[in-house]
Structure 1
């Protein structure tokens, strides 16, 4: 039975793509496959998919280029798939707007769990009602968040944040002055508690610092507590 969620797989290895499709369809997802970068951009930008599963090594345009292009218009989870173990590839993908990544080889059950977790977190973010019904905002220092409209202002200027950036900032603001471990942040924001990935959290923290700190090289708002995690300072 279909769960109404549509997944786009962008993968040039037909055997891998078919395995991914089969296991996702067993769980009720509707799946379409394209096998090159330009087709991934064209189909992904259609707006009909709830999540995009994007391989890094693709003909025509690699996964990084596809991710960068899609992020100009698409606001859905992008899960990058890479055969490389190097952190630099993972960090590059996250820096371009990917929400998560998975390293080949992976088990089909891990793939399905990652897809479900990212979709659940995305829905939670979209449906979140963190503000009072009167539309008032959360304000800490020079940062103001309006959860009902998902708008963020720093020193009076509106910011454009990606999904995970917004949810991470909102979570930090809601737990101001508390030390939060990387594992806690990964579990609460990415929703996949089997493996907490410090690179994912660190990249998103750095991206937030670039956008909200007056001097990202010497952060005063999102502070690192060495050996423990991060603290959002009031």
Structure 2
């Protein structure tokens, strides 16, 4: 599934771009580069990338601004590259639609693993093609998930979600009324146990609720916080 995936690497440090490119090309990815935010945004809008690696500190436009502008047009998966002292910016990145982040200094192998994990999740979000047709459509009173079309509708209107928001919703909706703690969601949806920040989960739940709420308050209420534990997808039988 990953073979020939197209990746944009946007970072103003040539050494970092070259290193990431070398490791990704070993995995047969097609890699393109940008050394500033303006060029990165233009390339991202004009091309269909499978993943974008976006440095948070770049000239002309920073990574936050690029991601924010990109999300108005596309839901391309984005991994933000951040320095250790930029925790607030990482949270801000999630708020504008970043799917994952990697902290500098990083191992090139970690980058490859994160890209693979994100591609795997996006691909798996179509779910098992071997399942019977009825299972490819999950219907609730105010919410419908069409796995084949990779589409979510609330009260008949389409909801535009990032890949990670979509995956989080699908994971919760597949097990109605089951409570998942943040660690479990981080492991299952983000595919890693030891790198993640638990606030990643909270931020994505917040964004997911906000997007659903704009279309259907009833659909948004289905994402329930279980205080002190985690989150669940609650179906009102009434």
- After TM superposition, the score normalised by the length of structure 1 is 0.87
Distance 1:171 1:148 in 2: 15
Q: CA shift at 1:197, angstroms?
A: 2.4
CA distance change for structure 1 residues 109 and 6 in 2, over 3 Å: closer, same or farther? same
Q: CA shift at 1:78, angstroms?
A: 0.9
Q: CA shift at 1:226, angstroms?
A: 2.8
Note if 1:58 corresponds to 2:58.
yes
Q: CA shift at 1:60, angstroms?
A: 0.9
Note if 1:223 corresponds to 2:224.
yes
**For 1:45, what is the secondary structure of its paired residue?**
helix
| 1:109-124 aligned within 5 A | 109-124=109-124
CA distance change for structure 1 residues 128 and 78 in 2, over 3 Å: closer, same or farther? farther
CA distance change for structure 1 residues 131 and 74 in 2, over 3 Å: closer, same or farther? farther
| 1:24-43 aligned within 5 A | 24-43=24-43
Unaligned runs of 5+ in 1: none
Alpha-carbon contact 1:47-1:74 (below 8 Å) kept? no
| 1:170-185 aligned within 5 A | 170-185=170-185
| 1:57-96 aligned within 5 A | 57-96=57-96
Q: CA shift at 1:205, angstroms?
A: 0.5
Question: Aligned residue for 1:148?
Answer: 148
Distance 2:105 2:22 in 1: 16
Question: Aligned residue for 1:233?
Answer: 234
Distance 1:26 1:157 in 2: 42
**For 1:212, what is the secondary structure of its paired residue?**
helix
Distance 1:135 1:126 in 2: 11
CA RMSD of aligned residues (A): 2.6
Q: CA shift at 1:84, angstroms?
A: 4.2
Distance 1:74 1:208 in 2: 16
Distance 2:7 2:232 in 1: 36
CA distance change for structure 1 residues 114 and 177 in 2, over 3 Å: closer, same or farther? same
Distance 1:144 1:189 in 2: 20
Question: Aligned residue for 1:101?
Answer: 101
**For 1:103, what is the secondary structure of its paired residue?**
strand
Alpha-carbon contact 2:121-2:167 (below 8 Å) kept? no
